[in-house]
Amino acid sequence: MFDSNMFTLLAEAEVGKHFYWNLAGFLVHGQVLVVIWFVFLLLLIFAFLGSSNAERIPHGFQNFMESAVEFVTDIAKDQLGESFYKEWIPFVGTLFFFIFGCNWAGAIIPWKLIQLPEGEFAAPTNDINTTVALALLTSLAYFYAGLSKKGLDISNVMLNQFHFFYQLIS
C-alpha cells in the first residue's frame, strides 16, 4: 500500500523549465529568486519614500503609503477582531504587500522580453514553491495564534472535530 518510490517520484516532478542556482547546497529557481529580490527592492523603496520626511499632516507619497497601511490595518481588524489585531499587523501587512507586489510585478512588467537559458521570468506567486511557502507560514501563524489565545484547550476542540468527521466517513 505504501510505496516510497511514488513519493520520491512526486518530489522530483517539475512543471515547466527552470533556471536553477545552487545556493549553499540548495537548488533554487533562479528566475523566481531574481523577481522576489526585485519585489523586495521595490517594497523597500516604497517604505523608504513613504517614511522619509514624515510630517504630522501627511501629503503626497506619505499620504498614499499611510492609506495603504490603514487599508491593511482595517483588514486585520475586520478579520481578527478589535482586541487581537494589533500584534498581527506586521505579519498580515508583510504578506499582503509581498503578494500584492509579486502579482503586480508579474502583471505589469514585461518579463518575457528578457531571455534566459532555461525558463522565464514571471510573478513569484506563479511558482508553486512560493505559494506553498506562504501557505506554510500562514498555517504556522494560525496554529501559533490559536495555541497562544486558547492554550492547549484548543486540542480538545480539534479532537472533537476530528472525531465528528471520522464518524461521517466511516
Q: For all residues of the chain together, what is the average pLDDT?
A: 81
Q: What is the pLDDT of residues 111-129, one digit of tens each?
A: 777 776 666 778 888 888 8
Residue 90 is assigned to a structural domain of this protein: yes
pTM: 0.74
Q: Which residue has the cell 476530528?
A: 162
Residue 134 is assigned to a structural domain of this protein: yes
Hey, what's the torsion of the CAs at 138, 120, 25, 97, to 10 degrees? -30
Identify the weakest region by mean pLDDT among 108-112, 121-125, 133-137, 156-160.
156-160
d(CA 14, CA 127): 11
Q: Which three cell numbers stand for residue 73?
A: 490595518
For residue 95, is pLDDT > 90?
A: yes
d(CA 102, CA 17): 20
What domain range includes position 101? 30-169
Residue 41 is assigned to a structural domain of this protein: yes
The mean pLDDT of 128-155, rounded to a whole number, is 83
Structurally, the chain folds into a number of domains equal to: 1
Identify whether the C-beta of residue 27 lies closer than 8 Å to the C-beta of residue 21. yes
Which residues are CB-neighbours of 62 under 8 A, at least 6 positions away? 50, 51, 53, 54, 55
Residue 36 is assigned to a structural domain of this protein: yes
Residue 1 is assigned to a structural domain of this protein: no
Q: Give backbone dihedrals phi and psi of 114, rounded to 5 degrees, phi first.
A: -90, 120
Give the per-residue pLDDT at 166.
67
Count of C-beta atoms within a 10 Å radius of residue 42:
14
Higher pLDDT, 6 or 91: 91
Q: Which three cell numbers stand for residue 45?
A: 523603496
